[in-house]
Structure 1
Amino acid sequence: MSSTATTTTNSVIAQGSLSLPIVGKEGYKYTNLLPAFPKDEHYPPLTPFEHVDPGHRALKHADPRSFLKDAKVTQLTPSIGEEVRGVNLAALDDHAKDQLALEVARRKVIVFRDQQEFIDRDPEAYLEFGRYFGRLHIHPTSGHPPNFPYLHLVYRDENSSFNYETSDRTIATTWHSDVSYERQPPGLTTLFLVSSPETGGDTIFASQVTTLKRLSPEFVAFLRTLKAEHSGHEQADYSRSGKRGGVVRREPVIHVHPVVRKHPVTGEEALYVNRQFTRRIVDFKKEESDVILNFLYDHIDRSIDSQVRLKWEPYSVVLWDNRVTAHSAILDFVENKGTRHGVRITPQAERPIPAKEDLVLPE
């Protein structure tokens, strides 16, 4: 699992019509999960679908947390984050997966340790696991393992980077909710690293439920009336410029979502804007929109009491609810030339539900 566990050697992996310089590892266990960027890979626009969250079923269970009865469970902070040891994700039945969905919704992010059996399975098993929680999403620009477009890869080594974009900001932290520009953005999401730096490269999460609660009731009432545009165009343009693998598999979209959304299972309200994909408040002038959004972005950045920082250990799997959290990788390992290689399984969920029931979103 460590980036220093094997000797590195430069190699080239050819994928479709595009050859990419990849740092290969002699004896590297996860070469089948290295990123591919086929240039002839294109998909039509996504179509709406009906999503039913498995967590609804768990609400009817006599003990909705019974899948954790033999586990060691540690609350990482009062408002967000849980660490679990003693549960094998690869062995969960449907009853337990329903409970898992509810537990993630309630705790926002859960890290399951000692998950070698889950990680070392065939990629088809990853997809089977993810499909239980929703329709799987193909990322329009990121790398994926050859022949497995539904698996999103994060990858950076000392010579290559396909996910971490150059930033002109003083910090590299970029809070976001994954692909929030989609009409039906992700819900329960899974990520695991198969290679990580000796130190650094943690992932930080923020509870958007708690960040909303920190605001005054009058301001929250105002935010409930607002809609915001989320755009995938900038991400696509970055790839079209030749970076991030240089592919755009599906034309970029802009969708309008409520600034405050409601979780379909827990009923909790959450702030739903992020610095990476939210572009403007609908029907507001630019300066007005910028004031509101920049205040909310800064609020998320500074809300340490709404955040949890997860340190990666070998064979850890993290699940979080993209509807009620924001997150960012921490790029503190870059100067040490470490490798960070991970796999994300990304089921889509429902179209965001406005907290204010009479808020009308455009089709």
Structure 2
Amino acid sequence: MPTATTTTELLSSSQLNGGPKKDANKTDEEPYKYAHLMQTWSTQKYPPLEPFEHVDAGSRALKHPKPRSFLESANVTEMTPEFGSDVRGCNLAELSSDQKDQLALEVARRGVIVFRGQEDFIDRGPKFYTEWGRHFGPLHIHPLAGHPEGYPDIHLVYKDKNSRFNVQESITTTVWHSDCSFELQPAGLTAFWLLSQPETGGDTLYASQVLNLRSLSPIMANFLRTLKATHSAFGTMRSKGRRGSLYVNKQMTKSIVGMKREESDVLLNFLYDHVAMSTDHQVRIKWEPMSVVVWDNHVTSHTATSDYAHLKARRHGARISAQSERPIPTLDSLKMDD
């Protein structure tokens, strides 16, 4: 299994709905189109992850004369000036290898992109998902999540009318995080889509950790560059990405190396609040049917919104992620349009 605890620099460098939209009104007896993608849990023990040399697919597109040509026929709306795009008219399932490289570069540039009208992609099934994802690197196996039978590298999320929501344990269900930041080479380019969704609610929010770092004072940013943090699936973690960005999240970052507990808590809580409250560095994805969201997990945090518990609706999603480079220290933060 992947290592559960590591230490890393505090900064990083570097519906889908196959059925009717009103899925909440379906009865349990009706056949479910995506029943073959329900969660299973394997007892198989996976060997420790081996280090590997990662080649970013987006770096190959830098040499392309028109590195955004895969979007030439698409309608692209920038969700904010520097973060997030909404794309219609681009079929992810039909991208060539060269166009997938361009996709990776565009995701690195914009942080997160939602592609609408992706029924062709979603309905091709798990074998296609894994083949598509492997273009961007070795596929990541989530150590704590369910998966479709026979496809451990497809991470599933699932809630229905019988699920337990944590609304009684906290005043909010918001938990900003990047996936599996405790691993030495955590997930980079990640795609996520919903197979079934409530008629309303269940949105996903994304935050730019590049912009969150850039908005800090030079004194604070330079101080943070000297620090490392411990991350873990059990309560501690560490890592780092492609661009200059914050690499902390409340779910997995546990302490700053070398600081006493009280000092570490003060600084980390400041950063957690900064990420959560900086709405000028966030976008909110409303899940239209047949949408696929692709983001850079190294420099983008996200949180689900579990505001639909009272609707007794099903929310069923699938995710494919490619492992990326090991997070490393950075002295300079790059501009989003570099």
TM-score normalised by structure 2 residue count: 0.89
Instruction: Provide the identity percentage.
Output: 56
CA distance in 2, matches of 1:335, 1:348: 36
Give structure 2 stretches of 5+ with no counterpart.
1-16, 333-338
Q: Which amino acid aligns with 1:121?
A: R
CA distance in 1, matches of 2:35, 2:241: 40
Q: Which residue of 1 aligns with 2:26?
A: 7
1:1-363 correspondence to structure 2 within 5 Å: 1=17, 2=21, 4=23, 7-9=26-28, 26-38=30-42, 40-160=43-163, 168-234=169-235, 256-257=238-239, 261=240, 263=242, 268-356=243-331
CA distance in 2, matches of 1:283, 1:151: 37
CA distance in 2, matches of 1:96, 1:102: 10
Number of residue pairs matched? Answer: 313
CA distance in 2, matches of 1:160, 1:332: 13
Q: How far off its partner does 1:107 sit? A: 0.4
Q: Alpha carbons of 1:255 and 1:332: their partners in 2 closer, same or farther (altered >3 Å)?
A: closer
CA contact (8 A) 1:156 1:341 kept: yes
Give structure 1 stretches of 5+ with no counterpart.
10-24, 235-253, 358-363
SS of 1:294's equivalent in the other structure is helix
Structure 1 residue runs of 4 or more that deviate by more than 2 Å after TM superposition: 1-9, 164-169, 254-257
Q: Which residue of 2 aligns with 1:18?
A: none
CA contact (8 A) 1:136 1:345 kept: yes
Q: How far off its partner does 1:6 sit? A: 6.2
CA distance in 2, matches of 1:63, 1:167: 51
CA distance in 2, matches of 1:45, 1:166: 35
SS of 2:213's equivalent in the other structure is helix
Moved more, 222-231 or 334-343: 334-343
Q: Alpha carbons of 1:319 and 1:202: their partners in 2 closer, same or farther (altered >3 Å)?
A: same
Q: Alpha carbons of 1:167 and 1:173: their partners in 2 closer, same or farther (altered >3 Å)?
A: farther
Q: How far off its partner does 1:166 sit? A: 6.7
1:289-343 CA-partner distances (Å, limit 9, x unpaired): 1011000000101000000000001110000001111000011111211211000
1:80-108 CA-partner distances (Å, limit 9, x unpaired): 11011111111000110000000000000
Q: Which amino acid aligns with 1:326?
A: S
Q: How far off its partner does 1:177 sit? A: 0.2
CA distance in 1, matches of 2:146, 2:260: 37
1:170-211 CA-partner distances (Å, limit 9, x unpaired): 111000000111111111100000101000000000000111
Q: Which structure would you say has the larger RCO, counting Cα contacts within 8 Å and 6 or more residues apart? A: 2
CA distance in 1, matches of 2:22, 2:315: 8
CA contact (8 A) 1:225 1:356 kept: no
SS of 1:118's equivalent in the other structure is helix
Q: Which amino acid aligns with 2:130?
A: L
Q: How far off its partner does 1:214 sit? A: 1.1
CA distance in 2, matches of 1:175, 1:287: 22
Two-structure CA RMSD over aligned residues (Å)? 1.6
